[in-house]
Amino acid sequence: MGVSVADDLQPVGQPYPGVSPEREAERAGPGRVGPEPEPGRPAAGPAVWTRDFRLFFAARSVSTLGTAMVPVAMSLGVLQAGYGASGVGFTLAASLAPMALLVLFGGVLADRFGPRRMMVGADTVRVLSQTLTAVLFLTGTPALWQLLVISAVNGTAAAMFQPGLASLVPRIASDVQRAVATQRTSESLMLLLGPSIAGLLVAFADVGLVFLVDAAGFGVSALCLSLLRLAPVARGAGGGSIWTNLHEGWREFSSRPWMWGVIVVWAVMGIAVFGPVLPLGVELVSASHRATGYGFVTSAFGAGTIAGGILAMRVKPSRPLAAGAAVMFLFALQPLSITLDLPLAPMMAAHLFAGTGYAFWGVMWMTSVQTQVPPEVLNRVHAYEVAGSVMAVPVGQALAGPVALVFGAREVLAVSSVVAVVCCTAMLAIPAIRGLRRVPSAP
């Protein structure tokens, strides 16, 4: 995710990093006052709530609600089928592994064929796969291998869908940060509501109904995305082999020190912080405050992510990654509160602040990626940063249990708290990350 971008790859309408407006005017040539609007991005009208952004917002909100329901339903369904906790782990891993392994190819295909086409295709596949899952549960007990195969199909579809998210927002809203924050706030709300809705549906109806709802959500998403009116942009992966396209994406990624620097730090966080905090947190919080208390704590974190998204709608720092890293220090409160075994109310407050920091950082990061990287390679570059982020978390989850058996779960989370602080400090200490400036919104 680094940058050595030639003139022909620079997004029209975005000044080169470090180039003055006067120099940009010279590049524009006689008769032009400044840069032209970027192709595919609105030059006038609403900064966020364009027709296309409303469709995109509806697509993401509806599909995210279903996605938030599925882990609960799948876990309960696998347990009801008699496959135990190991079956739950295998099923969830069967979805994550293809996502991590294939997302790079998803980035190439999105640049080659267009992100919208890949996203609609991925949603269509998931309509079929989740409908099949619903039928299997509604008509009997599915075999574990069937659930593993369907999970792998869903993970592959997610790998084809994810890269396109980065390049669509700059083409449908001129205020990218506000659009990203609005989208993330809605997704946080859906992630907060989804598990509760899934639990109610399973309790009063059937596991299969949750998968039908998820399939319908993907259908709505595919329809909304297909209705987007997107201006054409230059395709950066139109020729050459897939491996050549992957190399081009890697070159763009690795030439941006601010980008690969963050991913290196995030990989450390994934192993030492994000990976351990979920499995160990469930065990420790449930032991101290029972399952109901853990639900309250999880809800507090979700509420924090909504607050962080709302904050990011209103605050536009000139150095977004520096501001995001500063607020991300709050995330250390999550493992720290569990380590200290705080009473329920203070622990909920800590998780609220941790969620705020996590969401605010996420908006600052995605805004930077979407505005700093040329549109011709954005899908591939985004795929590299997703792969780097995703692959570290399962390593941390796998190591958390064995390490906790040796040193103790609270001790591991104490280390997680320290690592979170050190990593945020490292991001602020790296000049390329700290000094990255916000790209102004299009007129």
Give CA–CA dist 412/276, Å, rounded: 8
Residues 148 and 275 both lie in one domain: no
Give CA–CA dist 247/240, Å, rounded: 11
Q: Is 14 a member of any domain?
A: no
Q: Is 11 a member of any domain?
A: no
Q: Is 317 a member of any domain?
A: yes
Q: Is 383 a member of any domain?
A: yes
Residues 251 and 112 both lie in one domain: no
Domain range for residue 201? 45-173+192-227
Residues 196 and 294 both lie in one domain: no
Domain count of the fold of the chain: 2
- Residues facing residue 2 across a β-bridge: 254
Q: Is 248 a member of any domain?
A: yes
Give CA–CA dist 336/347, Å, rounded: 9
Residues 327 and 393 both lie in one domain: yes
From residue 333, give the alpha-carbon distance in Å to each of 91, 350, 373: 31, 5, 32
Residues 260 and 210 both lie in one domain: no
Residues 199 and 275 both lie in one domain: no
Residues 252 and 293 both lie in one domain: yes
Residues 300 and 217 both lie in one domain: no
CB 9 within 8 A of CB 374: yes
Tens of each residue's pLDDT in the chain, 443 residues: 333 323 222 232 333 333 333 333 333 333 333 333 444 444 445 678 889 999 999 999 999 988 888 887 887 788 788 887 667 767 877 887 788 788 888 888 888 888 889 999 999 999 999 999 999 999 988 999 999 999 999 999 999 998 888 788 888 888 888 888 898 898 888 888 887 788 788 878 888 998 999 999 999 999 999 999 887 665 555 566 778 888 888 898 999 999 999 999 999 998 999 888 877 887 788 788 876 787 788 888 989 999 999 999 899 999 999 999 999 999 999 999 999 999 999 999 999 999 999 999 999 999 999 889 888 888 888 888 888 877 788 778 778 878 888 999 899 999 999 999 999 999 999 999 999 999 875 44
Residues 286 and 311 both lie in one domain: yes
Tokens of 346: 């203070």
Q: Is 121 a member of any domain?
A: yes
Say which CATH number the domain at 380 has: 1.20.1250.20
Residues 199 and 252 both lie in one domain: no
Q: What pTM was estimated for this model as a whole?
A: 0.75
